[in-house]
Amino acid sequence: MHHQLDDCIFCQIAQGNAPASKIHEDELTLTMLDIFPATPGHVLIISKAHFDDIFTASPQVLAQIAINSSKIAKALQAVTQADGLGIYQLNKAAAGQTVFHYHMHLIPQFTNQNIGIHSKQAADPQQLEAMAQQLRQALNE
Q: Which residues bind ligand AMP (CB under 6 A)?
A: 9, 20, 32, 34-36, 44, 90, 96-99, 118
118 is annotated as an active-site residue: no
Told to check if 11 binds Zn ion by CB under 5 A, we report: yes
Question: Which is closer to ligand AMP, CB of 94 or CB of 141?
Answer: 94
Binding partner selected for residue 62 from Zn ion, ligand AMP, none, CB under the kind-specific 5 to 8 Å limit: none
Binding partner selected for residue 126 from ligand AMP, Zn ion, none, CB under the kind-specific 5 to 8 Å limit: none
Query: Which residue has its beta carbon closest to Zn ion?
Result: 8
Residues 2, 8, 22, 74: which binds Zn ion (CB under 5 A)? Answer: 8
- Catalytic-role residue among 42, 50, 101, 103: 103
Burial state string for 32-49 with b = 16 or more CB within 10 A and e = fewer than 16:
bbbbebbbbbbbbbbbbb
Site for Zn ion in 21-80 (CB under 5 A): 50
Q: Hey, what amino acid is at 15?
A: Q
* Residues classed as catalytic: 103
